[in-house]
Amino acid sequence: MAEAAAQESAFETAQSQLRSVAKLLDLDPGIVEVLAHPKRELTVNFPVRMDDGSFRVFTGYRVHHNEARGPVKGGIRYSPLVSLDEVRALAMWMTWKCAVVNLPYGGAKGGVIVDPRSLTAGELERLTRRYASEIDILIGPNMDIPAPDMGTDARVMAWIMDTYSMHRDYSVPGVVTGKPVEIGGSLGRYEATGRGVLYVAMEACRQRGISLEGATVAVQGFGNVGSVAARLLAHAGAKVVAVSDSRGGVYNPNGLDSDSLYDHRRSGGLLVSHPRSDFPHEDISNAELLELPVDILIPAAVEGQITEANAGRLRAGMVIEAANGPTTASADAVLAERGLYVVPDILANAGGVIVSYFEWVQDLQSFFWEENEVNQRLQRILASAFQQVTAVAEERGLRLREAAYVLALRRVVEAIRVRGIYP
């Protein structure tokens, strides 16, 4: 308990990031208070019938942080560690993320306290449909458009889309993104966040004057984001030397076979169960992975992994934050002091929400694009956002994180200003 209390919570990190950038921008304290709190929060406790006939009650959340720039958008997380505090932080980060890449959205997030791996497919479907019914009052293509996050995937999005549509008696594909392509999903959405990490890494390497080809990479978290990022970075010529999931990781200074690991993960396997004889490696813990001497470290698991305790021991040349909030505010201060180059989460992992936006646009128009077009537009938006953030950083002598926040906050505050405070 004492340890948990001492640790900085995700929402504390998010609030302290907001307040420090608000100072830089000399924002009206009233507006800062508006932004420091989510606009609305829904907690739902709901029963699900289990396969053995018993009922279990689950708790879920949906939080809208700010909708000044448009309908709100954000993923749904299934994890035993979900909490209202975490969902609030993730919703706030979505507001900044959408603003920094200039999408016409505000921020939201949702979650259910559950280990999805402990449920059967039937139980997961019933849980998802009931949760979707409970948050139905908040979601919709003009209001709040959920997407996948940790522990959820295209199948879960299909159930949410179907449940919402059943309640209305017609199909509403635009209510969620990250759906299967058969029901209005976008080509390229599955890979979008990891692909975005690749594009951001290309920009970062260009800016730092280092070659991505041959650069060594360690990736913490081998899920949707981490596994795609590792594979695409390897295809781009980088040398992925270490990857990990919740049970630990594998390391080979000469490079791992990212394709084989990717296929293994897509077939549902954890890294610890990968057929060991396939590739030479040594086992490594998550803590060890973070401290490897690599050119690029990519945290792509959960928040709060780079802490005040280990920030001083990082030996990476740069950090690209694929996860949301992987660095606590106090750890970030240590990284700043050390002058470590960090591409912040709200920019580095924005590829997912950018292609989600493309999916929503395609659904609203019932007109679908080719994958090439999706990827090219994704790269254009990310490269342009990266350059805008860099320009703010140079102009004001800031790190990329502060610069990204400055850009995002300016846009959100301007939207609030021109709309005015109701009534």
Chain contacts with ligand NAD (rule: CB under 6 A): 148-151, 193, 220-226, 244-246, 286, 300-302, 322-324, 349, 352
Give the angle 72-45-107 at the CA atoms, nearest 5°.
Answer: 10
Q: Which is nearer to ligand NAD, 166 or 291 (CB)?
A: 291
Sign of CA dihedral 263, 232, 217, 391: negative
- Among residues 332, 296, 295, 297, the alpha carbon closest in space to that of 311 is found at 332
Say if residue 267 is exposed, middle or buried (CB neighbours under 10 Å; 0-12, 13-18, 19+): exposed
Buried b (16+ CB within 10 A) or exposed e, 72-93: bbbbbbbbeebbbebbbbbbbb
Helix (H) or strand (E) holding 184: none
Q: Which is nearer to ligand NAD, 225 or 318 (CB)?
A: 225
Catalytic residues, which ones?
A: 109
- Residue 247 CB, nearest distance to ligand NAD (Å)? 7
Strands 144-148 and 55-66: unpaired
Q: Which is nearer to ligand NAD, 95 or 224 (CB)?
A: 224
- Residue 142 CB, nearest distance to ligand NAD (Å)? 22
Q: Which is nearer to ligand NAD, 150 or 343 (CB)?
A: 150
Q: Which is nearer to ligand NAD, 22 or 146 (CB)?
A: 146
- Residue 288 CB, nearest distance to ligand NAD (Å)? 12
The alpha carbon torsion through 200, 202, 205, 209 (nearest 10 deg) reads -130
- Among residues 83, 86, 75, 99, the alpha carbon closest in space to that of 21 is found at 99
**Residue 237: Cβ within 10 Å count:** 11
**Residue 246: Cβ within 10 Å count:** 15
Residue 44 in contact with residue 131, Cβ under 8 Å? Answer: yes
- Residue 191 CB, nearest distance to ligand NAD (Å)? 10
Buried b (16+ CB within 10 A) or exposed e, 13-35: bbbbbbeebbeeeebeeebbebb
Coil, strand, or helix at residue 216? strand
- Residue 193 CB, nearest distance to ligand NAD (Å)? 4
- Residue 286 CB, nearest distance to ligand NAD (Å)? 4
Site of tokens 């084989």 = 260
- Residue 394 CB, nearest distance to ligand NAD (Å)? 26
Omega of the bond leading into 423 within 30 degrees of 0 (cis): yes
Q: Which is nearer to ligand NAD, 110 or 226 (CB)?
A: 226
Q: Which is nearer to ligand NAD, 284 or 322 (CB)?
A: 322
DSSP string, 43-80: EEEEEEE-TTS-EEEEEEEEEEEE-TTSSEEEEEEEET
- Residue 411 CB, nearest distance to ligand NAD (Å)? 19
Q: Which is nearer to ligand NAD, 236 or 287 (CB)?
A: 287
Give the residue ranges of DSSP H helices in 101-219: 121-134, 154-168, 192-208
